[in-house]
Structure formats: C-alpha cells, structure tokens
Amino acid sequence: MLSAEPVVGPTEPVARLPGWIRARPPEGAAYAGVRGLLEELRLGTVCREARCPNLAECWSAGAATLMLLGTDCTRRCGFCAVTTHWPRGVVDRTEPSRVAEAVRRWGLHYVVLTQVCRDDLPDGGAELLAATVRAIRTESPGTLVELLIGDLGGSPEALGTVLAAAPDVLAHNLETTRELSPTVRDPRAGYDRSLEVLRRARGSGARRLVTKSSIMLGLGEDETSLRTAFADLRGAGVDLLTLGQYLRPSAAHRPVARFVPPAEFERLGSVAEAAGFAGVASGPLVRSSYRAEELFRRAYAGRGG
C-alpha cells in the first residue's frame, strides 16, 4: 500500500515555481524507519494523501501526521489531493490501537492526528477519533496529542465526544477567507460553521485546551479579508495559527492565483501575532501540522508533556 513514493507537491513544472519553494529530498535512517512502520501497521498519513511538500523533511526527522478514519474523504474541496469516496459507513475499529502502537514505538513526545471527513457516519467519526486519543493516553501517557478535525457535520454532540477524550490541542482549519470559502471548499463546509466549531471548543470548559487553525495563501485573497479572518479566529478564541502557500496538487484542482514571497509571509505573520494569537507559524511551506510541536512549545514554554 505504501511502498511506492508518489509525486509530492504541485503539478506545475519546477521551472514555474519560485526559487523559495523546493521540497527537500529524503535523508537518513529515520525516513526509512517511518515508512517501514507505516507499512507494517497499515497507517495512512496526510503527508502522502495530501501530497505535502514537507514529507521528506518530516519523515527524515522521524515524524509523520497520521490520518484517521481511513484515507478516503467524503468531500471534494478544490484545493485537496485526498481521494473522494463514499465508504458507506465502513470503519476499521483496529485503527486506534495501531495508531497508539506507532506513537509508542516512535517514542513521540508530541503527535499530530488528522482525519478525513466522514459524512457517511452519524457522528462524523467522532467516537473513533476519541478512541484513538484514549488509546494513545494508555500506551504513551506522556505524549501530547494534537487532533486536527473536520467540522463533524456541525454537530455539538460529536464535538463533545471528541473533547471528552481531552486532546491537548484541538485544531480545525478555516482554510481561506470568507469571500473565497464557497468556491475553495466543499459546499458542505462553511466559513461560519468552522468558526462555530472553534468557538464551541474554546467554550467547552475543557481543561488547558489549546485551539488552532490554518489559512492557505495564494488562492486570490486580499489583505483586508485576511485581517478579517484573523479577527474572526481570535473572536472564536483560537490560540495558534499557521499560514502557508497553497500548492496545486493536480491539474484538476484550483489553480494557484499567486506565489506569496517569504518576506510577505513574515509580515503577515507579524500582523497575525499583533491580532493576539499566542503563536503563529507563517511561511511558504508551512502547513497546519508542520513543526507543530515547535509552535506549541514556543507559545507555551514549560508546559508539560
């Protein structure tokens, strides 16, 4: 399943990419070790399924973002490379234990989990997400868990199920600005629904919960709408924010409107920090889970785990 290496990154020829966007080649024994363990335990990763340009860098550092609820998504967003399929309610109940085993064997102090959207399930997959967090707590009680969820169909009950498992970081991506959201995201998603998920998480009373979101740049947004999005996320109580360049996964996906220079990413990161986020990561190759532990530790120095 995971033996062949797919092309990772945008479909535009390398010559058309600006010089600041280059994926690193794999290096070191850790890369092979990560790939081997993923194959052995039959685990999916957002690194592969979403064709992340940081795959080689992260795997070479012994890290990967594990994808829960299978690798097929019931939604079709204009920016995303993950396969769209309707699984008809099929769920692998062994997935939580296999994920927990991987985390234990890697010896991770911090793990990032994400999910495909599962609109075919009544709870959007919330119970399996919660079961995975609990399994990690059992196998690796000192590991901090960041859980990047979909909107779970907007269900407060499903969100409550996830929060009851007490992830340390609850992430949900806004993805883009209000104006672009209807054309960039699947029609079942929504700008206001995403803000509501984050607002409910913040208002849940969950002890020490950190909330996080991400926005892609280069989709055609302007700075005014970005500043509004920053304010909306802070209004929902979001603590951490990542900003990264959208890269087109294939010719069937939304074209890149603009490649944002590194200096502009740095400036926009400062604008976001001024809006009140506890931590911001901003750069062309930044993704929601990229160096997630580093961002968390920088914002919350001395926090346990």
Q: What is the pLDDT of residue 264?
A: 98
Which of left, alpha, beta for 69 (phi over 0: left; psi -120 to 50: alpha)?
left
Q: What is the mean pLDDT of residues 203-232?
A: 95
Specify the higher pLDDT residue, 183 or 4: 183
210/292 Cα distance (integer angstroms): 12
Confidence of residue 47 (pLDDT cuts 50, 70, 90): very low
Specify the higher pLDDT residue, 117 or 303: 117
Confidence of residue 22 (pLDDT cuts 50, 70, 90): confident
Enumerate the domain spans of the chain. Answer: 25-299
297/4 Cα distance (integer angstroms): 34
Range from 8-12, 42-46, 202-206 that averages highest in pLDDT: 202-206
Q: What is the pLDDT of residue 9?
A: 47
Q: What is the mean pLDDT of residues 70-84?
A: 90
Please tell us whether the domain made up of 25-299 is placed in CATH 3.20.20.70: yes
Sheet holding 66-68, edge to edge: 44-45, 66-68, 110-115, 144-148, 169-171, 210-217, 240-245, 279-282
Specify the higher pLDDT residue, 265 or 43: 265
Selection from 144, 141, 199 nearest residue 167 by Cα: 144
Q: How many percent of the chain have pLDDT more than 90?
A: 64
Q: What is the mean pLDDT of residues 234-251?
A: 95
Q: What is the pLDDT of residue 295?
A: 94
Asked whether the predicted pLDDT for residue 234 surpasses 70, the reply is yes
Q: What is the pLDDT of residue 2?
A: 28
Asked whether the predicted pLDDT for residue 148 surpasses 90, the reply is yes
pTM value > 0.85: yes
